[in-house]
Amino acid sequence: MCNGIRIVATGLDVPEKIMSSEDFEKIVETSDEWIRTRTGIKNRHFLCAGETHLDMAMRAALKAIDSAGIDRQQIGTVLVATFASDQYVPSCAALLQERLGLSEDVLAYDLNAACSGFMFGLESVRGILSVSEKPYALLVGAEALSRRLDMTDRSTCILFGDGAGAAIVEKSDRPAVISCRTRGDITKILVDRYVHMDGQGVYKFAVKEVPKLIEEVLAKAGVSADEVDHFICHQANARILQSVAKSLDQPMEKFYQNLQEFGNTSAASVPIVMAQMNDLGLLKRGERVVLAGFGAGLTWSVATFLW
């Protein structure tokens, strides 16, 4: 069977500069208390002038490659999930090929599924690995979102942060179930120059659709929510995570949260959680994980496999 995947190793990178909620009190009419109670966010990381999206993607990728201990010439695919990179062309994935010294017979491109980008990338990589001659794919989620924020719009600018997460993925005979969903809707989240969002509309969509899709995917995998060790979810709002946990009748301890320190990093969010948990030794081989992303598009996606 070749439709399974295994995450061999992970890496993450965020810029050094921290923007606290108190910092935002000086920029827009808001308060640390409002942000904390409505979202769970305290800090987020912002790139400084001169720092790049590519630098973050590169550092996260290098950590994943180094920790995998693989020959990087065995990487046949590089996908970068992003909608906020340094430039549209060349792709971040193409530049990673050069910077990482990967061979030229690599399939490298960026993909945009907003906050579900890493998840859509995972499903893409699963298909690609089943026909690829090389055993490994490098999958990165990276966003320089601070450059897409209207710093006069308090309903969005306090939510997002910059960062990158990366994973080395290989084929596995242990099957994975991954479902990706798309519903074209420009009214809930639109990113032109800046991010615009109908926060409540997205909130309602997330708390309705995400648990439903998790249940569908778990049923397809033939396991119950009780058998899942970790729910690795997109970090948009602590209240969304609590609602998903409640719908699934699962304890919050299974839902690792880092939005308090990173905010919403869109496509980087799921791989950053995964990498942080991995660095902390919280993910054990053989454990069952569920990954869940949701966001603009609208897009939403759930995967389950054994770590």
Tokens of 189: 């989240």
Q: How far is the CB of 291 from ligand UT7 (least distance, A)?
A: 15
Least distance (Å) between residue 104 CB and ligand UT7: 35
CB of 202 to ligand UT7, least distance (A): 4
Instruction: Please say which residue, 137 or 202, places its beta carbon nearer to ligand UT7.
Output: 202
Active site annotation includes 233: no
The pair of three-digit structure tokens given for residue 172, joined into one six-digit string: 């596995």
Q: Is 92 a catalytic residue?
A: no
Return the number of the residue (10 or 39) whose C-beta is nearest ligand UT7: 39
| CB 155, min distance to ligand UT7, A | 4
Q: Are strands 177-185 and 297-306 parallel, antiparallel or unpaired?
A: antiparallel
- The DSSP code sequence of 159-185 is TB--EEEEEEEEEESSB-EEEEEEEEE
Judge contact between 44 and 72, C-beta under 8 A. no
Q: How many CA atoms lie within 13 A of 245 on its CB side?
A: 19
Report the alpha-carbon distance of residue 283 to residue 274 in Å, rounded: 8
**Least distance (Å) between residue 234 CB and ligand UT7:** 6
Residue (76 or 293) nearer to ligand UT7, CB:
293
CB atoms inside a 10 Å sphere around CB 123 = 18
Tokens of 187: 């009214």
For residue 226, count other CB atoms closer than 10 A to its CB: 10
Q: Which of 53, 112, 233, 264 is catalytic?
A: 264
Residue nearest to ligand UT7 (CB): 199
**Catalytic one among 115, 157, 180, 233?**
115
Nearest residue (CB) to ligand UT7, 141 versus 295 = 295
Euclidean distance between CA atoms 237 and 260, whole angstroms: 9
d(CA 248, CA 260) in angstroms, rounded, equals: 23
Using CB under 6 A, list all residues that contact ligand UT7: 30, 34-35, 38-39, 115, 154-155, 158, 199-200, 202-203, 206, 236-237, 240, 264, 266, 295
Closer to ligand UT7 at the Cβ: 79 or 157?
157
State yes or no: is 264 an active-site residue.
Answer: yes
Q: Which of 45, 234, 237, 278 is catalytic?
A: 234
Q: Which residues pair with 143 in a beta bridge?
A: 163
Which positions are catalytic?
Answer: 115, 234, 264
